[in-house]
Homo-oligomer: A and B are copies of this chain.
């Protein structure tokens, strides 16, 4: 089932309650829309997104940085242990059609940048802002809430 829409949800591994709630809603939304959730497999927003996806009966894959599947959060359909550290971020993005970024730190920023480099759309929920020479670079599609983020992601995936 590789032809369905795959949406990566990226965000902090130790999120605030508000961030976790956003991740959960996005994961649920991806599942309800019939998509497959891709994430980094660890805690924080990766875990809440996988939990939301599971609650809605959806499928998810977690692509872990470490050597052991046992580091995975418990809500994934399948966990993949890459043993590649941060280089796995490229696989998270490569596997997805669109990336939804929920706030996030530098790891999330790397996933946003890799997606844009690969020509994949990025939808942002309160995430990084980019600029050059004092001018904003509007490469991230801004969403107002989880529902909007999922809707935009599926719209962009179907182009």
Contact = CB atoms under 8 A, between A and B. Distances in A.
Interface of A: 1-3, 6, 36, 41, 59-63, 67, 69-72, 74, 76-87, 89-91, 94-95, 103, 105-107, 109-110, 112-114, 116-118, 126-134, 137, 139
A23 to B, nearest CB: 17
User: Main secondary structure on chain A at its contact with chain B?
Assistant: mixed
A42 to B, nearest CB: 11
A35 to B, nearest CB: 12
A113 B110 CA distance: 5
A118 B1 CA distance: 29
Contacts of A90: 83-87, 89-90
Contact of A84 (B62, B84, B130, B132): B84
Indicate the member of A70, A74, A116, A117 with the most B CB atoms within 10 Å.
A117
Given A61-B78, A109-B109, A67 B94 contact: yes
A129 B128 CA distance: 10
A71 B3 CA distance: 10
Given A83-B86, A85-B83, A77 B59 contact: yes
Given A78-B36, A78-B77, A86-B114, A70 B130 contact: no
Given A81-B91, A87-B87, A91-B80, A126 B130 contact: no
